[in-house]
Amino acid sequence: MEVSLATIILAIVFAIGIYKVVNKRMKTWMAYGSIPRPLERSWPILGHALLFRGDQAQAYSQLVRVASGIRDRGHQSGLIWMGSEPNMIATGPDAVGVLLRSSQHTKKTIFYEFLHPWLGKGLLTSDVEEWKYRRNLLTPTFHFSILQDHLEVMNEQAKVFLIKLEPHSAAEDTFDIFKYVTLCALDIICETTMGKSINAMNDETSEYVRAVYRATRLVQQRQNAPWLWSDLIYYRTKAGRDFTDTLKILHEFTRKMIVDRMHNYKTDGRDDTTRTRRRRLSFLDMLLAASDNGKVLSPSDVQEEVDTFMVAGLLDFRMS
């Protein structure tokens, strides 16, 4: 049987590629060799990824169980392999202190890359230099007077939140408060970030609300599945196609909010502080002021930060 030269060359290239991957993995494995690992088996290529199958709640419970196991064995830190990526777990105060005081390991991991199609290179996902530039630019948006205005929004939404809880006050049975807290958080974050309430507590079927939940779930599922890390593979799966469709909903929503706010911003005038103050400054208003008509922040930069603060605020609220 004759073998073409092209086939031989491809086989050699493939073999070299496999060798480089395996060699890199072995070097990395040896470098982390002394760090405690979970007692559960780490599989070739997959690492410990199979431990974190299931929905978000199941994956989180497994992570807590694994971290507790490492801590109970007397260690303040441990190592989990997700595919070929080593992930450190801090299970004690001393280890946490070392990580928080360090300014060396600041590069974002591969897991943040899965957020790039959604959030771009905003504060959450950008590397050090871009993060410093954006952070300095956005510092004025966190001025005390601006945050003070947001208390009005929180108080207004808190009243709606209490109205939603009232039917349960006389009931003897327990109920799941998580849904109510999440929807309340979404209303607060939307209004303080974009200057518009989506009335999530009164409309649980909101397309944007469902899209946020769906995109969050899809990102976490991909993070826990090394076989889906390749864009070439992921966007040819049902999950990848669902993610693309979901992002269209999310981006279109924030894009429309930005366009509307830009129109109001130009109509009100940059120096008309009375009218701007009356309609209450949002994070988006401050971004538009900082953008200097696209000279400092482009429209896509503005959208990245709006999407970032919407998602980060909601996830922080839910985790709390």
Residue 130 · residue 124 · CB < 8 Å: no
pTM: 0.78
Q: How confident is the model at residue 267 (pLDDT cuts 50, 70, 90)?
A: low
Contact at 8 Å (CB) between 138 and 290? Answer: yes
Pick from 250, 260, 161: nearest CA to 207: 250
Confirm if 125 and 115 have CB atoms less than 8 A apart. yes
Mean pLDDT computed over 256-283: 63
CA gap 212, 55 in Å, rounded: 15
DSSP letter assigned to residue 41:
P
Among residues 165, 191, 189, 167, the alpha carbon closest in space to that of 179 is found at 165
Q: Among 76-80, 248-252, 259-263, whose mean pLDDT is lowest?
A: 259-263
First CA to last CA distance, the chain: 65
Which token pair is 198? 């989506």
More confidently predicted of 296 and 189: 189
Using a pLDDT cut of 90, give the percent of the chain over it: 17
- For residue 220, which of 47, 54, 91, 83 has the smallest C-alpha distance? 54
Q: Can you give the pLDDT at residue 316?
A: 63
Instruction: Grade residue 233 by pLDDT with cuts at 50, 70 and 90.
Output: very high
Chain centroid to CA 182:
16
Helices (H), 196-237: 207-223, 231-234
**φ, ψ dihedrals at 126, nearest 5°:** -80, 155
276 has a pLDDT exceeding 50: no
Position 3 scores a pLDDT of: 60
pLDDT at 273 over 50: no
Cβ-based neighbours of 87, under 8 Å, separated by 6 or more: 79, 80, 81, 109
Higher-pLDDT residue of 25, 181 = 181
Residue 290 CA to its chain's centroid (Å): 24
Q: Which helix (H) or strand (E) is 135 found in, with range?
A: helix 128-138
Domain ranges of the chain: 37-96, 135-168+175-319
pLDDT at 282 exceeding the cut of 80: no
pLDDT at res. 277? 43
CATH fold of 135-168+175-319: Cytochrome p450 (1.10.630)
pLDDT bracket for residue 268 (50, 70, 90): low
Residues 299/256, Cβ–Cβ less than 8 Å: no
Q: Is the pLDDT of residue 131 over 60?
A: yes
